[in-house]
Amino acid sequence: MIKKCISAMFISTSLFASSVGININSDTVEFNGEYNIKNGGEYAQDTDYIIHGSFLRSKDKANTEKLYTLGAKVINPYLSESGLSFGLGMKLAYADNLEGKDFTAFPLELFGSYHFNEKFLLDLNLAYAPEVLAIQDALSYKESTLKVSYQLLENGYIYIGARAVKTEYENIGTIKYDDNLFFGYKVKF
């Protein structure tokens, strides 16, 4: 049920997205989308309010895992003249894997971004849910992503990055979804 709700919300977010992207490496593929709700209303000029979602499919030698996320974040773009921005958020993470065990967590998120110039951008995303923010068979959720983007076209970006995503289950242990380099592209609307 949770998976169907997250999938429906992710699809609707993607249909009205401010940006959509895909990234891959040899073991994973991730589809993601964002919608800036500031585009549709009167909000503070110096803050972005973003709904975001992703679908990560990871395959190793033994099995395939799927991770769905849906969240909201608030970002203050360009806090300084040097192109630095900072944001906070929260999301729902649901994993579909291993022997019918259900994983649901509500990680808190921290975002940072630095614009070197008009073309190059560095992003850092961290998400963490301790046991108190995890339900069902979940104990914790950890995610960190660092990526460098280059604006290839007016609204098109290519990027390379490193990502580590781990979920911890009761009685099973830790599942690593990804801990590798990836590359991808993103289109903004």
The answer, as to whether pTM is greater than 0.75, is yes
pLDDT digit string, tens, across residues 29-81: 999 999 988 765 555 567 888 999 999 998 865 567 889 999 999 988 766 67
What's the CA gap between 66 and 68, in Å, rounded? 7
What's the CA gap between 165 and 124, in Å, rounded? 14
Helix (H) or strand (E) holding 11: helix 2-15
Domains contained in the chain, CATH given: 2-188 (2.40.128)
What's the CA gap between 14 and 137, in Å, rounded? 29
Nearest one of 34, 11, 13, 48 to 157, comparing CA atoms: 34
pLDDT digit string, tens, across residues 113-126: 998 888 999 999 99
What's the CA gap between 88 and 51, in Å, rounded? 12
